[in-house]
Amino acid sequence: MLTVRTGKDCLLVAVNAKDEALLRYNGDHLDVKAFKLVLTRKSVMIEMRPIPITCACCSISRAVKPTPKGEPRTPTGWKKLVDAAYCPECWRKQYILRAITMPVASPLDCSWDELRKALRTMWAQTTAASNWMMTELFARDVRKGSEEKMPPMARVYLYPEARARFPGLPSQTVSSLEQSVQRKYRAVRYAVVWTAAASLPTHRYPTPFPVPKQAWAATIEAEQAIVSMRIGDARHRLRLKRGPQFRRQMAAFRQIAQGEAIAGELAIYDHDGVLVKMAAWLPREEEKEARADVLTVRTGKDCLLVAVNTKDEELWRYNGDHVRRWAGEHRTQLQRWNEDQKYEQQPVPAFARRRETAVRKFRDRMNSATHEIAAQLAGYASRRHFAQVRYDDSDHSYMGDGFPWYRLRSLIADKLVARGIVLETSAQPEQERVGPLAED
């Protein structure tokens, strides 16, 4: 039997049963494919010894398998920046993941009609590809039989077939779509395949067109935010809107353009105009003063949120009367439309477009309101130098169960973490019901 293993001073070495070296491949030029063995033995055992990877910050090490080039494979959750590797804990201490959404002001190298035509083609193919991938994952998955537990999902590789079916999509976009669709399917797989408690998710037009981080670039030209990316067969440069309302987005965009932030995936949306959403790891701000004390925040019967100190003295309050008024007006309007639809307005009422517009406007209002509430709470806790926030939203009497409580809790957690404040929450809420205040 011939044993082949990796070595410390060479890429591969082959030894016999007496551990005598018979063949060696140094691989100084990293051409692994050039290594060929002509074997006359009956069996070959290839031994891949683990290679340690060390965090550049805390010096913690982890044994991983080598790549074909002989380099340590990056573990799940770890990040690599240039030649340095970081463990998940050290990476989150230095960077925070954020999404920057900005509208497109104008294309620079084509007309609006040409840009919209190219984007409509990409949105249509992205929607079709996502739905095809979701259907194929379900078709190739297991079916419930006599097993007591759901077996693990077998590996499904749809990239070659997707490239042949949707040649108009860039290769990197197809790869990004497959990864996102697989994550979404695996998240609902148990409810869809095993318990039949949910239906297969579908993607509606226009599904956002993703652009991987390697395929787009951000620059600042004459104090204007410019993004360059490939859309279809051509490369486009888009100028993004700016102004006082985009102060936070412009600050993050400058960090991306200057290399201080690490850019992630970009997506192009169609939402009352063309929007560009950029994911990036932004560097955390250093704390100038030490934090202490605990701020307790809870929902109330006569207000949305109230914050008290350790002596139960009220420090901060958010009433949210306008949010409650929006909910009442929207609920009443939906009820009146439902009543009108019962009388000779089937299957599509004449006011369907107005109702759709009103629902979209209300969702945008609620999305902005939850962001503002979370930002105000996080800003107050940071300004008063609280080290921890205890959050309890068990009392739903003021806004009702239709309010997106889980969405508000998630936003509060994100904005507190960005400021280095620990959040301690009550028991996780049940799945939110879809109502007039629901996010989706």
Q: Give buried/exposed letters for 202-225 (b at 16+ CB in 10 A, else e).
A: ebeebbbbbbbbebbebeeeeeeb
pLDDT for 343:
67
Considering only CA atoms, which of 398, 411, 397 is closest in space to residue 439? 411
Residue 42 pLDDT grade (very low, low, confident, very high; cuts 50, 70, 90): very low
Confidence check: pLDDT of 427 > 70: no
- Domain range annotation of the chain: 2-91, 92-284, 292-425
**pLDDT tens digits, 397-416:** 998 877 889 999 999 998 99
Cross-strand pairs, 280: 98, 263
pTM for the structure as a whole: 0.73
Taking the C-alpha atoms of residue 73 and residue 204, their distance in angstroms, rounded to an integer, is 37
Confidence check: pLDDT of 435 > 60: no
Average pLDDT value for residue range 418-428: 81
DSSP E strand boundaries for 41-115: 44-47, 51-54, 61-64, 79-81, 84-86, 95-107
* Between residues 355 and 7, the one the model is more confident about: 355
CA distances from 91 to 65, 81, 213 (A): 22, 10, 19
**pLDDT tens digits, 69-106:** 778 888 888 988 888 899 998 998 889 899 999 999 99
CATH 3.30.420 assigned to 292-425: yes
Helix/strand/coil for 184: helix
CA distances from 109 to 84, 229, 239, 377 (A): 38, 12, 10, 43
Q: For all residues of the chain together, what is the average pLDDT?
A: 86
CB 166 within 8 A of CB 129: yes
**pLDDT tens digits, 140-149:** 998 888 888 8
